[in-house]
Amino acid sequence: MAEPLKIAGYSINSRLFIGTGKFASNTIIPEVIAAASAEVVTVALRRMDINFPDENIVNFIPKGCIIMPNTSGARNAEEAIRIARLAQASGCGNWIKIEVIADNRYLLPDNQETIKATEVLANEGFVVLPYMSPDLMAARRLVDAGAAAVMPLGAPIGTNRGLKTKELIRILIEEIPLPIIVDAGIGKPSEAAEAMEMGAAAVLVNTAMATAQNPVAIAKAFALAVKAGRIAFEAGPGAIQAYANASSPLTGFLRDSL
C-alpha cells in the first residue's frame, strides 16, 4: 500500500490534488472529489458578485478536505501576499498555493516574485506550496524561503499537453528535499502515473477533469493512475538496459545442436 504524503505535519492519503476551476457546474464538484478521493482541493479568491452573493465554491467541497486557495490574479509578490492574507482571513485554514503570473499567453509563473512571496508568507505561518517553472536554483531558493512543497509545471496551465518538462522535474525530484508536486499540464491519467513513477510526491489536476466529457469517470481513472504510479515508484522499477536480456533460461533447449 502506498505511503501517506507528509506536508507540514499533515498526513495525506491521496496523492491526487484537484482544482475546482472550469467545471460546467459546481454541483458536479462533490462527485469529482469523491471519485478522485481527493483530500487537497484548490480554489481561487475573487471579488464577490454583489448581485449573486450566494455563489461560493466552498459550499461544494466536502468537510475534511484541505482547502488550498491559490493566489491567481497576482502579478507580483505583493499582490500574492495580499491575496494570501485575505484567504487566511476567511477561516479556511493556512494553506496557500502561490501563483504569480505576469505572462498572459503561456501563463508561466514568475519564479523570482514567487520566492519573495514564499518567504514572507512562510514567516507568517502559512503552509506555502509555490507553483513554479521547474528550475533547480529557483527550487533551492524556495526551500530556503520556507516552502512546504514545490510545485513545478508539467506544461502550461490548461493545455492538457502532459509532462513536457519531465527531465527538469526529474532533477527537482532528485535534488530537492521537499515533496515535488507536478502542477499544471497533465492531461491524461497515464501522464499522472508517469510523474508518480518518477517519484513525484503528488500531482495537481484540474483542466484534464473539468474539460473531459465525463469528469467523474476521469477523476476515478486519475485516482487509479496516481495510486498505481506511486506503488510502482515505491516498488523500485528495474533498470533500463541497452541490449536484450532473455527472460527465459538460455539452456536446456529442445534441440540437439546450436
Partner 1 sequence: MQVTVNGQLVQATPEISLAELVKEKGWQAERIVVELNDVIISRTDWVHCIMKQGDKLEVVTFVGGG
Count Cβ atoms within 10 A of the Cβ of residue 183 and give its class: 0-12 exposed, 13-18 middle, 19 or more buried.
buried
Query: 36 or 141: whose CB is closer to partner 1?
Result: 36
Report the 10 Å Cβ neighbour count for 131. Answer: 26
Query: 85 or 140: whose CB is closer to partner 1?
Result: 85
Q: How many residues does the chain have?
A: 258
Residue numbers at the binding site for partner 1 (CB under 8 A): 19-23, 26, 29, 42-48, 50, 53-59, 67, 69-70, 72, 85-87, 89-92, 157-158, 184, 204, 206-207
Cα 143 from Cα 180, distance rounded (Å):
11
Query: 51 or 245: whose CB is closer to partner 1?
Result: 51
Cα 111 from Cα 124, distance rounded (Å):
20
Query: 86 or 217: whose CB is closer to partner 1?
Result: 86
Report the 10 Å Cβ neighbour count for 240. Answer: 5
How far is the CA of 230 from the CAs of 3, 180, 196, 223, in angstroms? 8, 13, 5, 11
- Known catalytic residue at 97: yes
| Of 22, 97, 116, 188, catalytic | 97
Cα 12 from Cα 92, distance rounded (Å):
17
Report the 10 Å Cβ neighbour count for 101. Answer: 21
Q: Is the distance from CB of 87 to CB of 58 less than 8 angstroms?
A: no
Q: How far is the CB of 85 from partner 1 (least distance, A)?
A: 6
Q: How far is the CB of 20 from partner 1 (least distance, A)?
A: 4
Q: How far is the CB of 97 from partner 1 (least distance, A)?
A: 9
Strand partners, 100: 74
Q: How far is the CB of 83 from partner 1 (least distance, A)?
A: 9
Of 218, 153, 215, give the one whose Cα is nearest residue 186: 153
Query: 44 or 143: whose CB is closer to partner 1?
Result: 44
Q: How far is the CB of 42 from partner 1 (least distance, A)?
A: 6
Active-site residues, by number, are 97
